[in-house]
Structure 1
């Protein structure tokens, strides 16, 4: 399968590596000569123009940082979708608004769009075990699956276009709330005269264990973990608040815990 790729950064680079190792022909965007050399060393073909990644591609994967970057890259007469051939599939890994996925799908041009936000980190991608929450038509998901399964497992098809983003935003809101809950537990432990290090050593073995708790334990403290992830989680929480408001909903009782999880 010929795969175009935009966004070979912290998350995207191990995706490119896995795609190449799985035998796919990968054309990837590199903004600088140095970056293109690095990507070429992975076995991909590196190009300087975003539209070049779409040339003859069966699917084009976008893994940039923000929703606004997705819109700037993909929409409009000079956007990525306009350069893609009819029958190809655009895959969005960027966590963002479901409205963006819907807008891209409405752009037309015979290109199918699926939103497939990622849950996990670069180490999960490198192991081929990152979770993908996928929204889109059955045939589009089936067409993209041979490439996505190079690094995604499980690939959870949750519904139509935009549904993957909604699931991911709820997931990250819950994750932020769990971080806030653990930060509050550490505060309680301190009031009881228990060091946070002792708490984080003990709790992963109890019924209160969670992935968030494991991550915080590895970081050494809730403050250290919040410092490391607040920017990423904060971006996603801002999107879920905006999306919930658009749909007449809110975070409800999660809101206070989310604020604690963001260190506020």
Structure 2
């Protein structure tokens, strides 16, 4: 397939490489000579302009850092309006489901699939990053060869925006689990126990979780939170705003999320 790509950075670069290795014709945006050289090394064709990303592409993939950047590209910019009618836009950036829905509403000639990622660059490079996907059955089916180049499992959660909702709730629960571990570490310290043996023991007990495994591997709650805090904090801010816009709140999850952030 002909694939246009915006955002060949930390997460996007291994996606571009996997797509090129799978035989797709990939054109990726590079704003600088250094970036264009890196894109060529990934096996893709570097292009300088948004118009060149969109022109003739069957699928355009966006993998930028923030929801505001997605809006700038797709709602305030001309990326989507330059896409061929019948093409599909895939948004990997974690953000508000309303952004994906707004793009779909404004550009009915283009199918919009939101497919936020759960995992890291190493998972993408290995071809088994988790994708939570929202979009019509037809659109998701058409982009299957693209998403399948690096995603496994590819989980279709519902209509456009559903992938974002699943990802935001997933990350909120993950942040809350980090908060639980951080609180347990604080309690252990008050009781006179060191963190290292506590973590080494808990991973083998019924308190075990993926968050606990990752914290134990990092060596401490502080080390892990320092490494992932920016990314988790960004997603939690989006989910708080989204839930507030819908007239709700995070309930008891709110305090647990804050407990992890305060470590």
CA RMSD of aligned residues (A): 1.1
Paired residues, what number?
263
Q: Secondary structure at the match of 1:205?
A: coil
Q: Matched residue of 1:215: which SS?
A: helix
**TM-aligned CA deviation for residue 112 of structure 1:** 0.4
Q: Paired residue for 1:179?
A: 178
The 8 Å contact of residues 81 and 109 in structure 1, kept in 2 or not, is answered as no
Residue matched to 1:23: 23
1:105-144 mapped onto 2 (5 Å cutoff): 105-108=104-107, 110-144=109-143
* Residue 109 of structure 1: how far off its partner (Å): 5.1
Using structure 2 for the length normalisation, give the TM-score.
Answer: 0.97
- Residue of structure 1 equivalent to 2:11: 11
- How far has the Cα of 1:241 moved from its partner? 0.8
The question of whether the paired residues in 2 share the 8 Å contact of 1:233 and 1:262 is answered with no
2:32 aligned residue: 32
Kindly report structure 1 stretches of 4+ aligned residues shifted beyond 4 Å. Answer: none
CA displacement, residues 202-254 of structure 1 (integer Å, 9 cap, x when unaligned): 21122211111111111111011111111111111111111111112110000
2:31 and 2:202 map into 1 onto residues whose CA distance is: 45
The unaligned stretches of length 5 or more in structure 2 are none
Q: Residues 72-119 of structure 1, C-alpha deviation per residue, up to 9 Å, x if partnerless?
A: 11124x511111001100000000011100110012251100110001
Structure 1 residue 70 corresponds to structure 2 residue 70: yes
Separation in 1, partners of 2:18, 2:262: 35
User: In 2, Cα distance between the equivalents of 1:240 and 1:75?
Assistant: 21
Secondary structure at 2:203's aligned position in 1?
helix
